[in-house]
Amino acid sequence: MDAPNNPKSAAVDDRRRGTRRESTATLQVRFETESVGGLAENISTAGVFFFSPDRVRVSVEVVDNGQSRTYTGRIVRMEPVSEANTGFAIEFDRA
């Protein structure tokens, strides 16, 4: 565990606006951003890695314990976990 005065751990804590909890909620994500532009860092016949100033805006419907709620926000990270699964991090807009 990082020491409490570790600048790296403090920066991570500062980004988190809410307390996390385990969940089995189901959700549906709708993409509001149709396309993004950017500048390629590298490219090959197999793919491209690029940077974009554009945000990927989404609407997220979450069903948890029989209750449905819709949030808006943006995708802040995508992480392939396996051939079958990709993890997504969505930052909700402030209420």
| pLDDT tens per residue across span 9-68 | 444 445 667 888 899 999 999 999 999 999 999 999 999 999 999 999 999 999 999 999
Is residue 15 in some structural domain?
Answer: no
pLDDT confidence bin for 84, thresholds 50/70/90: very high
Is residue 78 in some structural domain?
Answer: yes
**Of the given ranges (2-11, 35-44, 82-91), which has the lowest mean pLDDT?**
2-11
Is residue 68 in some structural domain?
Answer: yes
Is residue 57 in some structural domain?
Answer: yes
Number of folded domains that form the chain: 1
Is residue 76 in some structural domain?
Answer: yes
Task: Determine if residue 80 is left, alpha or beta; phi over 0 gives left, psi from -120 to 50 gives alpha, anything else beta.
Answer: beta
- Residue 19 pairs in a beta bridge with none
Is residue 88 in some structural domain?
Answer: yes
**pLDDT recorded at residue 14:** 53
pTM, entire model: 0.74
Is residue 37 in some structural domain?
Answer: yes
Which helix H or strand E contains 76, and what residues bound it?
A: strand 67-80
Structural domain that includes position 63: 23-92
